[in-house]
Amino acid sequence: MKRYSAFAIAREALRYHTGWERAWASPEPKKKYDVIIIGAGGHGLATAYYLGKNFGITNVAVLEKGWLGGGNTGRNTTIIRSNYLQDPSAAIYEKARSLYETLSQDLNYNIMYSPRGVIMLAQTEHEVRGYQRTAHANALQGVTTEFISPARVKEIVPIINLDGPRYPVLGGLWQARGGTARHDAVAWGYARACSDMGMHILQKCEVTGITRDGGKVTGVSTNRGDIACDKLGVVVAGHSGHLADMAGFRLPIESVALQALVSEPIKPCMDCVVMANTVHGYMSQSDKGEMVIGGGTDGYNNFTQRGSFHHVEETVRALIETFPMVSRLKMLRQWGGIVDVTGDRSPIISKTPVDGMFINCGWGTGGFKAIPGSGWGFAEMIAKGHSPLTDAFGLDRFHQGRFIDESVAAGVAH
């Protein structure tokens, strides 16, 4: 694989850009792999990458029923933060955030990471107490956050209205090294690195069944034939329950749509991410000038990947109080993604009742920010049987009553 650099751009400019290689190969499936990962989104590709980088396991296939990064990885709003309350959550999200810092250099692919900062607004006295508690917990966890005053919020976000008629801004939880990245570039960068290690990325390869010998997984059936493996990792977000059914067990998750929209492009006016749990909305500005807006999940289980007018109206109505300027913008486009939500709003990264099969799901509205940390921990679990980063997120916590309650930290989309 040729390295991307300023010199490479200059060289190819002189050759009319005829020398660029494909970023990743499109091979035919082999009969057997050491590890198969189902799901070529950010989490699946990151898992494959760290299997190769950290453990030297490169006889790996990543299967995707659609196109690479076409699921939730291509449908989210790209927010990165690690200001979670519970210790296991803070650990895995902070691992992800720290890996994002140098991911462009590690992958030799510009993921456009922008540590512009994230504010979670406190608009009730209950939220003030909750975010102050989170700031203290983050200090003990080694995660740099602080609770800031309304005046400081206004200084960071001049366009905000602190004196909303229903929910005035009483402060905010500020993480200066949070931010955003380019979602497609994250998937493309991991895919390019995996392909360079000799791994197979198989698009348009839908899994139709999971084969077992007794209680052990032996492979998968696909629309491109049967493929054998020694170990199987499933990372398919909202379709996790469907894959678990194929293997003969159930997961404690629900699948719901999460919607988002972007406005027409405007001049730069906001250089951080602002989240408002009370009114259930959040907003940032993309590099192209669009205001990226989202809210909470739909109120009913569904598998749609479309937006709906009533949800847009509800989210924008809430944000207009805090950002009056939003009322003058036109919507450019909207979309939806299928998220998988657990009862405690924390992920499942675990062995399964089927020997050799592992599951990574339940990220709900917080999947994008966790991609590098999730891949790092899940790869270690597949390679070694467990990972300190993921041990707390096992399936057994639900029948043990050992919940990791992040309903506040994950109470608003992303």
For residue 129, give both structure tokens.
């107490």
Contact 244, 225 (CB under 8 A): no
Residues of the chain with pLDDT > 70, as a percent, come to: 98
Residue 126 CB: number of other CB atoms within 10 A? Answer: 11
Residue 84's closest CA among 73, 76, 96?
A: 96
55 has a pLDDT exceeding 50? yes
SS3 of residue 118 by DSSP: strand
**Residue ranges with strand state E in 20-142:** 32-38, 60-63, 79-80, 118-122
Does the CA dihedral 16-21-24-25 come out positive or negative?
A: positive
pLDDT score of 375: 98
Residue 1 pLDDT greater than 90, yes or no: no
pLDDT of residue 314: 84
* Residue 228 β-bridge partners: 32, 219
Q: What is the pLDDT of residue 170?
A: 96
Burial letters for 314-338: b for 16+ Cβ neighbours within 10 Å, e otherwise?
Answer: bbbebbbbbbebbeebeeeebbbbb
How many angstroms separate the CA atoms of 375 and 414, rounded? 18
Rounded-to-integer distance, Cα 315 and Cα 276, Å? 11
Q: Distance (Å, rounded) from C-alpha 144 to C-alpha 224?
A: 48
Mean pLDDT for the stretch of residues 70-77 = 91
**pLDDT tens by residue, 287-337:** 999 999 988 888 888 888 887 888 888 888 888 888 999 899 999 999 989
pLDDT for 413 equals 42
Map out the domains of the chain with their CATH numbers. Answer: 27-109+182-253+344-400 (3.50.50.60), 118-179+255-342 (3.30.9.10)
If pLDDT is split at 50, 70 and 90, which confidence band does 414 have?
very low
Confidence of residue 409 (pLDDT cuts 50, 70, 90): low
153-200 tens-digit pLDDT: 999 999 999 998 788 999 999 999 999 999 999 999 999 999 999 999
Average pLDDT over residues 56-73: 95
Look at residues 395, 312, 384 and name the one whose alpha carbon lies nearest to residue 351.
Answer: 395
How high is the pLDDT of residue 410?
A: 52
* CA–CA distance, 39 with 80 (Å, rounded to integer): 21
In this prediction the pTM is 0.95
Half-sphere exposure of 281 (CA within 13 A, CB side): 23
